[in-house]
Amino acid sequence: MILNETQSAIVDAVRAFAQDRIRPFSLNFETAGAYPPELFQEIAALGLMGMTISEDLGGAGADYVSYALALMEIAAADGALSTIISIQNSLIVGSLARTGTEEQKARFLPDLIAGRMLGAFALTEADAGSDASAIRTRATRVDGGWRLNGAKQFITSGKIAGLTIVYAVTDPDAGKRGITGFLVPTDRQGYIVDKVEHKLGQAASDTCAIRFDDLFLEDDLRFGTEGGGYSLALSNLEVGRIGIAAQAIGMAQAALDIAVGYARDRMSMGKAIIEHQAVGFRLADLAAKLEAARQLVLHAASAKDAGLPCLKEASMAKLVASETAETVVSGAIQTLGGYGYLEEFGLAKIYRDVRVCQIYEGTSDIQRMVIARAL
């Protein structure tokens, strides 16, 4: 895909910011297990917290190709941060802009798009991951609203979010049609962070087990139609999977850049190791596979821009990009040999961060199921 002038400018601007303000501090963020809150407002100032949202709602009004490109650049600097930004754009701000009432948009969108508030998306439960229809969290109608009880698992930004979109069963006899979405301000009594998970990677992005203990919600915090929560939750799959695919590409590109730079500088037997066929061919294969995956991601994004159904394309992009990314990062580590295994060269962190791309927003197995159904 040949980028237009606007898309190229976005890449240049986001890359400059990410390499200056994010990448040098990535290990510090990981050690701290958090990001400074002001960083999110700096990111928002670039238009990255509501990229594809129309300007009349406060967004940047960018296309989905630009969104994917921006996520690649953020991920190349810090994988965990790109996860937060992806969820903020697709599952929170994008969902609110499409489905929220005018009152809900006015109440929450300004702070979310400005980076003053982060959002979390709470669908997954301990016994309901890929099978979203099996959730058990209940919302019971009471005078003036609802009472929410239950627990959610693997919730990104569950601790630091100001707003969590929660999906709960409102009619247990209606199956998938008995699930409803709710907008839950996290300062409400009954919103409890039971645990911040200790993970293999992406440590700076908190992942939490959340519990709701008789949490009261007014009627105006119901999100979408009663019973329409299941289809609403799944309606974000295209953009969400494009986002995860894009972040996988960004992390893999960062790893490949490190490997190529090292291979140019490292001398062995009188020449740079990239000139040795064993190393040069490995890097050539990795570069070709990564470029193919990148084009698949940009194709899915361009289909979304064209208003075409693209769940198959998004699933293909996520499947190929996430699995290719692990291959690329592993090959980059191999290129550096023992140095690739050391923290100071940066590949170890990327390797930790990239592995989850094959799991969240639909596992690779789920992507294959979606693609097979489309065939």
Angle at which helix 311-336 crosses helix 277-305, to 10 degrees, equals 160
H or E element, residue 122: strand 119-122
How many angstroms from the chain centroid is the CA of residue 247? 7
Count the residues in the chain: 375
**DSSP secondary structure code for residue 37 in this structure:** H
Catalytic one of 30, 238, 326, 361: 361
Tell me if residue 343 is catalytic: no
**DSSP secondary structure code for residue 329 in this structure:** H
* Residue 196 CA: distances (Å) to CA of 182, 206, 211, 297, 349: 22, 6, 12, 31, 20
Q: Report the 10 Å Cβ neighbour count for 326.
A: 18
* Residue 308 CA: distances (Å) to CA of 238, 289, 303, 340, 368: 11, 26, 5, 42, 20
For the annotated catalytic residues, the residue numbers are: 361
